[in-house]
A = this chain, B = another copy of it.
Amino acid sequence: MTRKLYALSGTDKTRPFSPHVWKTKLSLAHKGLPFDVTPVAFTEIPKLEEGATKIVPLLRDGDKLVSDSFDIALYLEKTYPDRPTLFAGEGGRAMARFVEGWSQMTLHPAIGRIAIMDIHDRLEPVDQAYFRSSREQRFGRPLEAVAESGRADLETFSAKLEPLRHMLKFQPFLGGDGPLFADYIVFGALQWARIVSTHRLLAAGDVVSDWFERCLDLHGGLGRSVTAA
């Protein structure tokens, strides 16, 4: 097979955790396109495919190379238009950018703080050094101080999900009756937390938890193929 997905991993190559890679795994499965996963460490990313990317996911599809989960979804939609749609129209494509904005500007920073030491501890020493250096530069303080601030995020995380709870009063997925790329965007964030952190961000009985479980079931239980931390 020529379709290859480069996926971030730590010491355990069977537990890829990148939220963005999970978006792409579900996107490929949604389109019914088989793919092989190649685990890569943080410090290996710049060496992939002759320096093709600074970020994962990176997808090789025959002679095409595409990075960035949204760009990959757009590429798949354009290249495989006869397969199930990831956007269900122009409006869905446009609004998925807003969902991405919400997920990345609201959920990701909180999960990043909550799980920062979990992520660090799951990396090889060379990647730990890179992770510590790059994140301490980004946050302007030691990883341990970021993790400490993550305790407050645990308290407020559930409230951030209110927009989803409102939506779930009307329909089972962001995509409506069935999932679309917008679902995979938010799923990716929560799957990242599920795989790296022992903190449980979703409570049983929460409609968001029910939606997340439905997402874990999709495409033959692809999301469940990696167990919770």
User: Which residues of A pack against B, CB within 8 Å?
Assistant: 85, 87-102, 104-106, 162-167, 170-171, 173-177, 180, 182
The answer to whether B87 and A91 have CB atoms under 8 Å apart is: yes
Contact residues in B for A167 (Cβ distance below 8 Å): 97-98, 100-101
Chief secondary structure at chain A's binding surface: helix
The answer to whether A173 and B94 have CB atoms under 8 Å apart is: yes
CB distance from A179 to the nearest CB of B (A): 10
Which of chain B's residues has its CB closest to A159's CB?
B105
The answer to whether B93 and A90 have CB atoms under 8 Å apart is: no
Which of chain B's residues has its CB closest to A87's CB?
B91
When A94-B176, A95-B96, A99-B95 are in contact, do A163 and B88 touch as well, CB less than 8 Å? no
CB distance from A107 to the nearest CB of B (A): 10
- In the assembled complex, 17 residue pairs joining A and B whose CB atoms fall closer than 8 Å, in A order, are A88-B89, A88-B91, A92-B94, A94-B171, A94-B176, A97-B167, A97-B170, A97-B171, A98-B99, A98-B164, A98-B166, A98-B174, A100-B166, A100-B167, A101-B164, A105-B163, A106-B163
Which of chain B's residues has its CB closest to A181's CB?
B91
Copies in the complex: 2
Which of A94, A165, A167, A176 has the most B CB atoms < 10 Å from its CB?
A94
CB distance from A154 to the nearest CB of B (A): 19
CB distance from A110 to the nearest CB of B (A): 13
CB distance from A163 to the nearest CB of B (A): 4
Contact residues in B for A164 (Cβ distance below 8 Å): 98, 101
Contact residues in B for A85 (Cβ distance below 8 Å): 91
| Cross-chain contact of A175 among B94, B100, B176 (Cβ < 8 A) | B94
The answer to whether B176 and A91 have CB atoms under 8 Å apart is: yes
The answer to whether A98 and B180 have CB atoms under 8 Å apart is: no
Contact residues in B for A88 (Cβ distance below 8 Å): 89-92, 94
